[in-house]
Structure 1
Amino acid sequence: MLPVVLAAAAVTAVLGPLPDPKPTYGGHPRPQPQEELTLSYVAGAGSAMSVKLTCDPLGGGHPDPAEACAALAGVDGDPGRIKRAGTACILLYKPVTAELTGTWEGRPVSWKQRFGNACEMRRATGVLFRF
């Protein structure tokens, strides 16, 4: 047992202590993602969809996290400030409620809006609820 201890001490003396197994960024602990969001919508008929979205690093179940995160970055995490697209929607009343909850840049966010149909929701929120 003594030879193993001496060998470990010799390696430590030459190479230094073993690195901390926790990932670091610039010598500091790697920060946890600051944007962890849940995007969901529920149709009046009861059908529902939901995805997770992370922006730092990009990920989650959203089909286009880079575009979704860019859209949110442009409005400081507030979907209500997204510029409405000029596309036309049919006048069919099938209400949809969209909701975003989670953390944006380290602060809690919560947004909920009811739309006349899914087309109106996507026109108002851009890529965010296209899943």
Structure 2
Amino acid sequence: MLPLLLAAALIGPVPDPPPTYGFPPRPTSDNLTVSYMADAGFAMAVKLTCDPPGGGHPRAVQACATLDQAGGDPSRIKRTTTACILLYKPVTATLSGAWRGREVSWTHRFGNTCEMRRATGDLFRF
């Protein structure tokens, strides 16, 4: 019994485990909402999952590949050279949810849907 007491004295007190607050663990899979809204009043939104590609996005495989190449940041997507009509019909694009286990929230305003798609590739093609 003495060796146990001596060992406990040398080790010191055992710390309590960290408290738990009842929150569910963060999702590790990708679960995103991709949407845009025009100042004219119309809006579009789809769900996008990337592990495996799916959700309601019609080009989920391409959209996930585009996001993967940009590290989950739509502002890092390589712009295409598509020509757009110079017609001002502003739209606000939004991406929110979980990407590779971390929360993502991105919003950007474009002059029209063509400019939005030129800047974001397949991500907002729905």
Shorter-normalised TM-score: what interval?
Answer: 0.7 to 0.9
CA offsets per residue over residues 81-102 of structure 1, 9 Å max, x none?
A: 0011011111100000000000
Task: Give the corresponding residue for 1:4.
Answer: none
How far does residue 80 in structure 1 lie from its aligned partner after superposition?
A: 0.4
Task: Give the corresponding residue for 2:78.
Answer: 83
Task: Give the corresponding residue for 1:69.
Answer: 64
Task: Give the corresponding residue for 1:99.
Answer: 94
Q: Take 2:80 and 2:31, find their aligned partners in 1: how far apart are those partners?
A: 26
CA offsets per residue over residues 21-41 of structure 1, 9 Å max, x none?
A: xxxxxxxxxxx6511000000
Q: How does 1:1-131 map to 2 (within 5 A)?
A: 34-131=29-126
Q: Percent identity?
A: 68
Does structure 2 retain, via aligned residues, the 8 Å contact 1:33–1:54?
no
Q: Which runs of 5+ in 1 are unaligned?
A: 1-31
Q: Take 1:67 and 1:109, find their aligned partners in 2: how far apart are those partners?
A: 19
Tell me the TM-score normalised to structure 1 length. 0.74
Q: Take 1:33 and 1:105, find their aligned partners in 2: how far apart are those partners?
A: 6
Q: Secondary structure at the match of 1:88?
A: coil
User: What is the count of residue pairs matched by the alignment?
Assistant: 100
Q: Take 1:118 and 1:47, find their aligned partners in 2: how far apart are those partners?
A: 12
Q: Which runs of 5+ in 2 are unaligned?
A: 1-26
Q: Take 1:48 and 1:95, find their aligned partners in 2: how far apart are those partners?
A: 12
